[in-house]
């Protein structure tokens, strides 16, 4: 059973009747499915100290109750814990008001999870603050499903994802099966080779689709860290530049003088930029006759302190009605596209606390097209607890 530890020697001073009520309350709280923590009122480190924790909280963080007592809830924090939420929490505690928040925390074994918690001040009969009472809930699975839903109702989005996946899987499988059936009856070696190539191409298409699905879920929880934008983008363009130019497209980099660091997961950011560059290459491929094909990767710092990274191409542009759907899973205007690349971009950007947006101007007989995908990262925050 969880227990309350007193501020000095852990002994309780209640009268017998009050002690029985307290024991009954503790027993009831210990059986609650939500994590419950009570701390003292000392906000400066090493406080606040935990004076009570129930079994659900113990199970959630992966530590026995005895190992939790006396520690600060700060032990749950890690690289991806939201500084914004912690700042909000500290302000609410100092103002002695109720707080409701959500962030990524870490279990004792280092596993990240999404925790939703409510903290309320507790006052005695004289109005003196005596403790803080916190209800905590692991909402990792719920948030994972919400990210898949992508701002739509859960049933609609899951239905769309499953229908899209079924369609994308059925097409190459159907073509491969038809090719194999023809291959069984074909006696001409030249035609046999053509059919083998057809089946191989459809299986490769299927493999690409499954790889996209794996990438979609590869970074379920991002781990932001300080990233030097200039060094990162220089390295990125150097790595992808050769393959981009091999396709007849120039790629160049432009970085503003005020750009420094952002908080991002380097793996996720690299994948996001790869997807955006591949999307731009696909746009250029749709107009092979065009000349001076170009992709520009740029970064600048906005007046309010946010940092933006843009991937811009001078391809044909996107129709206005299509621009509204470019981030929808399985929506694509390309004959061989899976419709997952930009969905992955949106998901990974959100996991890093960034926002992604798109703008486009269609190519006309007298002007070039222009499509820009922008990643906006919030201003860096103080690392103070």
Q: Are 299 and 334 in contact (CB under 8 A)?
A: no
pLDDT in tens, 232-252: 999 888 888 877 888 889 999
What's the CA gap between 267 and 221, in Å, rounded? 12
Instruction: Reply yes or no on whether the pLDDT at 215 is more than 60.
Output: no
Residue 340's pLDDT band (boundaries 50, 70, 90)?
low
Taking phi first (over 0 means left), then psi (-120 to 50 degrees means alpha), and beta for anything else, what does residue 326 get? alpha
pLDDT given for residue 238 in this prediction:
86
On average, the pLDDT of the chain sits at: 79
pLDDT in tens, 71-125: 999 999 988 888 888 889 989 998 999 999 888 999 998 889 889 989 999 898 8
**Bigger pLDDT: 198 vs 74:** 74
Residue 6's pLDDT band (boundaries 50, 70, 90)?
very low
What's the CA gap between 99 and 25, in Å, rounded? 23
pLDDT in tens, 36-67: 899 999 988 888 999 999 888 999 999 999 99
Backbone angles phi, psi at 286, to 5 degrees: -75, -15
pLDDT given for residue 240 in this prediction:
83
**Bigger pLDDT: 295 vs 170:** 295
pLDDT given for residue 71 in this prediction:
93
Neighbour count for residue 8 (Cβ, 10 Å): 6
Q: Are 281 and 247 in contact (CB under 8 A)?
A: yes
Contacts (Cβ under 8 Å, ≥6 apart) of 74: 45, 385
Where would I find the H helices in 50-153? 55-61, 65-68, 83-94, 140-149
pLDDT given for residue 13 in this prediction:
45
Contacts (Cβ under 8 Å, ≥6 apart) of 149: 156, 157, 158
> First vs last Cα of the chain: how many Å apart?
31
Q: Are 269 and 227 in contact (CB under 8 A)?
A: yes
Q: Are 80 and 112 in contact (CB under 8 A)?
A: yes
Residue 187: asked if its preceding bond is cis (omega within 30°), the reply is: no
- Dihedral sign of CA atoms 263, 264, 270, 276 in order: negative
* CB burial of residue 50 (10 Å; 0-12, 13-18, 19+): buried
- Dihedral sign of CA atoms 242, 246, 249, 250 in order: positive
Global model pTM greater than 0.75: no
What's the CA gap between 364 and 377, in Å, rounded? 33
What's the CA gap between 372 and 280, in Å, rounded? 9
Strands (E), the chain: 35-39, 50-53, 99-106, 112-123, 129-138, 225-228, 250-255, 261-264, 294-301, 307-313, 355-361, 370-377
What's the CA gap between 151 and 154, in Å, rounded? 9
Neighbour count for residue 138 (Cβ, 10 Å): 19
């Amino acid at each position: 059973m969880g227990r309350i530890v007193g501020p000095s020697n852990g002994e309780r001073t209640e009268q017998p009747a009050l002690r029985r009520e307290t024991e009954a309350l503790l027993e009831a709280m210990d059986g609650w499915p939500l994590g419950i923590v009570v701390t003292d009122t000392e906000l400066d480190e090493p406080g606040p100290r935990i004076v009570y924790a129930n079994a659900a909280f113990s199970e959630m963080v992966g530590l026995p109750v005895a190992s939790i007592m006396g520690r600060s809830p700060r032990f749950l924090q890690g690289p991806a814990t939201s500084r914004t939420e912690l700042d909000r929490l500290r302000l609410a505690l100092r103002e002695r008001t109720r707080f409701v928040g959500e962030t990524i925390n870490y279990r004792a074994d280092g596993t990240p999870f999404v925790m939703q918690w409510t903290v309320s001040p507790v006052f005695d009969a004289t109005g003196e603050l005596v403790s803080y009472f916190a209800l905590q809930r692991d909402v990792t699975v719920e948030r994972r499903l919400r990210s898949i839903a992508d701002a739509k109702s859960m049933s609609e989005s899951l239905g769309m994802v499953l229908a899209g996946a079924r369609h994308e899987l059925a097409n190459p499988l159907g073509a491969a099966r038809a090719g194999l059936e023809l291959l069984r009856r074909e006696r001409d070696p030249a035609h046999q080779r053509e059919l083998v190539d057809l089946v191989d191409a459809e299986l490769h298409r299927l493999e690409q689709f499954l790889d996209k699905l794996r990438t979609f879920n590869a970074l379920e929880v991002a781990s932001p860290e300080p990233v030097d934008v200039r060094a990162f983008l220089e390295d990125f363009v150097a790595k992808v530049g050769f393959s981009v130019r091999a396709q007849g497209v120039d790629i160049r980099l432009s970085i503003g003088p005020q750009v420094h660091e952002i908080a991002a997961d380097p793996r996720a950011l690299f994948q996001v930029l790869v997807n955006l560059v591949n999307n731009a290459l696909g746009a250029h491929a749709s107009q092979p006759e065009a000349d001076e094909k170009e992709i520009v990767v740029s970064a600048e710092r906005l007046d309010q302190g946010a940092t933006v990274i843009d991937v811009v191409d001078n391809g044909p542009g996107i129709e206005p009605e299509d621009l509204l759907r470019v981030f929808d899973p399985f929506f694509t205007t390309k004959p061989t596209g899976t419709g997952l690349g930009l969905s992955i971009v949106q998901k990974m950007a959100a996991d890093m606390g960034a926002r992604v947006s798109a703008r486009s101007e269609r190519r006309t007989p007298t002007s070039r097209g222009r499509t820009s995908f922008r990643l906006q990262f919030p201003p860096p925050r103080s690392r103070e607890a």
